[in-house]
Amino acid sequence: MPELPEVETIRSQLAPRLAGRTLVRVEILDPRLTRPIDLFEVAEALEGDSILAVERRGKYLALRLESGLALLVHLRMTGSFGFEPTSHERAVLELDDGTRLAYRDVRRFGTWLVLEDAELGTYLAGKNGPEPLSASFTGGWLGGRLAVRRAPVKAVLLDQRVVAGLGNIYADEALWRARVNPERPARDLDAEEIRRLHRAIRAALRTGIERQGSTLSQYRTPEGSRGGMQDEFRVYGRDGLPCPRCGTPIAKTRVGGRGTWYCPRCQPATGD
Ligand SMILES: [Zn+2]
């Protein structure tokens, strides 16, 4: 599933091609994308409008339109955008400069929602905590959210209302960087561990953005390239391989139903 670095990479490649352009034709091919709203109704609302900006909040992409509407896209498991024709196209946007942008989604969990621009902030604020790379994401905020939860710290990090945009990959990477065991009850972390975790979340996400995200199976950037972050993983998907810090084989477990990788030595179950 695309996480913050992947969605940010997509946003940064779409923005220069889309901003200022008019949607001359909008074709939505899959009713699941817009339900419960009829796909023709959504296409009609978008057609003829111009794109002011392409923004990101958490894992959401928002196309802000001149009319005061916004198209809010969540890629879920396998959604992606591409400038080249491809298989599994669920929607196609044609721009006034001849650009054809396809939305591809193999597993069809992605969503397109049209909102009034005025509703957008409230809608997104209800689903997302602070942006982890913004000044509003502080150690104090993170500590406050962890202190009231007895669930495993990794499960709490995946809650988008705690940290917007973090998912399975970058949560594992951040916990390894912070030397915190993913199964520790969130409220048991001490101030020093929270400080390390806060810094590690930002560092893991920044590395992901620099590498244009990670390519596991479906993900491609809109320009068609693969991300490079998968070559930078310290723990994710690396069970049995040596920990880059101490050489101990990386272990795999499940936390909250999600595959979870960690170093048994650097991330001891009892904390440090
Ligand atoms: Zn280690």
User: Any idea which residue has 């196209």 for tokens?
Assistant: 89
Per-residue confidence (pLDDT) for residue 217, from 0 to 100: 60
d(CA 13, ligand 1 centre) in Å: 36
C-alpha of 195 from chain center: 23
On the question of pLDDT at 262 being above 60, the answer is yes
Per-residue confidence (pLDDT) for residue 223, from 0 to 100: 85
Per-residue confidence (pLDDT) for residue 218, from 0 to 100: 62
Cα–Cα distance measured from residue 112 to residue 75, given in angstroms and rounded to the nearest whole number: 9
Cα–Cα distance measured from residue 119 to residue 96, given in angstroms and rounded to the nearest whole number: 27
On the question of pLDDT at 20 being above 60, the answer is yes
d(CA 247, ligand 1 centre) in Å: 6
For residues 244 and 214, the model is more confident at 244
d(CA 179, ligand 1 centre) in Å: 8
Per-residue confidence (pLDDT) for residue 216, from 0 to 100: 66
Across 71-102, b (16+ Cβ under 10 Å) vs e yields: bbbbbeebbbbbbeeeebebbbbbbeeeeebb
User: Is residue 198 a contact partner of residue 32, using CB atoms and an 8 Å limit?
Assistant: no
Nearest to 201 by CA among 178, 225, 228: 178
Catalytic residue ranges:
2-3, 59, 258
d(CA 211, ligand 1 centre) in Å: 23
d(CA 262, ligand 1 centre) in Å: 8
Tell me what percent of the residues of the chain surpass a pLDDT of 70: 98
Task: Give me the residues near ligand 1 (ion), CB cutoff below 5 Å.
Answer: 243, 245-246, 248, 263, 265-266
Cα–Cα distance measured from residue 61 to residue 70, given in angstroms and rounded to the nearest whole number: 10
Per-residue confidence (pLDDT) for residue 214, from 0 to 100: 80
Mean pLDDT score, 237-264: 97
Cα–Cα distance measured from residue 244 to residue 207, given in angstroms and rounded to the nearest whole number: 16
Distances (CA, A) of 72 to 59, 61, 114, 172: 10, 6, 6, 28
For residues 21 and 230, the model is more confident at 21
On the question of pLDDT at 221 being above 60, the answer is yes
In one-letter notation, the amino acid at residue 136 is S
d(CA 170, ligand 1 centre) in Å: 17
On the question of pLDDT at 272 being above 60, the answer is no
pLDDT tens digits along 109-160: 999 999 998 899 999 999 999 999 999 999 999 999 999 999 999 999 999 9
Per-residue confidence (pLDDT) for residue 271, from 0 to 100: 60
On the question of pLDDT at 78 being above 70, the answer is yes
d(CA 242, ligand 1 centre) in Å: 8
How would residue 47 be classed by pLDDT, with cut points 50, 70 and 90?
very high
224 burial (CB, 10 Å; 0-12 / 13-18 / 19+) is exposed
d(CA 38, ligand 1 centre) in Å: 51
On the question of pLDDT at 212 being above 80, the answer is yes
Mean pLDDT score, 197-215: 93
In one-letter notation, the amino acid at residue 14 is L
On the question of pLDDT at 21 being above 90, the answer is yes
Contacts 24+ apart (CB under 8 A), 32-38: 32/90, 32/108, 33/90, 33/91, 33/103, 33/105, 33/108, 33/110, 33/111, 33/112, 34/111, 34/112, 34/113, 37/113, 37/114
User: What tokens does 178 get?
Assistant: 């912070």
Distances (CA, A) of 184 to 55, 100, 152, 257: 35, 48, 5, 15
On the question of pLDDT at 268 being above 60, the answer is yes
Per-residue confidence (pLDDT) for residue 220, from 0 to 100: 76
User: Is residue 155 a contact partner of residue 256, using CB atoms and an 8 Å limit?
Assistant: yes
Q: What is the mean pLDDT of the chain?
A: 95
Per-residue confidence (pLDDT) for residue 232, from 0 to 100: 87
Mean pLDDT score, 3-22: 96
